[in-house]
Amino acid sequence: MEKKAFQDYYPDEFAHCYGCGRLNDEGLHIKSYWDGEESVCHYTPKPYYTGGVPGYAYGGIIASLIDCHGAATASAAKLREEGVALGEKPLPRFVAASLKVDYLKPTPLGTTLELRGRILEIKGRKVTVSVTLSAEGVVCAKGGEILIQIPDK
């Protein structure tokens, strides 16, 4: 049986995101999982997500991947903080209040990218995460994101 991702537990009404929503037919469908204390996501962008120079990813797709992986990490971490296992109830859903991306090196296309998230702080409905994006073992971008939990109703 295939392992379920954080995004598979989003409530239907919050599962339409272009970056990570399983109900968005056109979207990227990124999938995030725990790997110990870190969250991990593997994703291979299509060749047309190039920047100005073919062969390298454009800044927007890098920001998009960091944004959605960060939001999923915040959701799963909040659930875990409540002592609830994945799948026992729908994930709380977070939106970004701010996103900062440092582009450290050109990010090559044609290879699988690895995103790794870490929780820096959980304070009530506000969660702060850091995310690295690597290609072939080299960190190409670093992100920091502040997320706010959407009210249930």
Question: How many residues bind to a second copy according to rule CB under 8 A?
Answer: 44
Interface region with a second copy, contact rule CB under 8 A, candidates 32-40, 58-66, 116-124, 132-140: 58-66
DSSP codes of every residue in 45-84 = --TTSB-SSTTBB-HHHHHHHHHHHHHHHHHHHHHHHTT-
Q: Which residue has the tokens 């920091």?
A: 144
Q: Does 68 help bind a second copy (rule: CB under 8 A)?
A: yes
DSSP H helices in the chain: 59-81
**Please, what is the minimum distance in Å from the beta carbon of residue 109 to a second copy?**
10
Task: Supply angle C-alpha 119, 122, 128, rounded to 5.
Answer: 50
DSSP H helices in 7-152: 59-81
Binding mask of the shown chain, residues 94 to 113, with x at each position contacting a second copy by CB under 8 A: -xxxxxxxxx--x-------
Q: Does 16 help bind a second copy (rule: CB under 8 A)?
A: yes
Residues of this chain that bind a second copy (CB under 8 A): 10, 13-21, 24-27, 46, 48-54, 58-61, 63-65, 67-68, 71, 93, 95-103, 106, 150
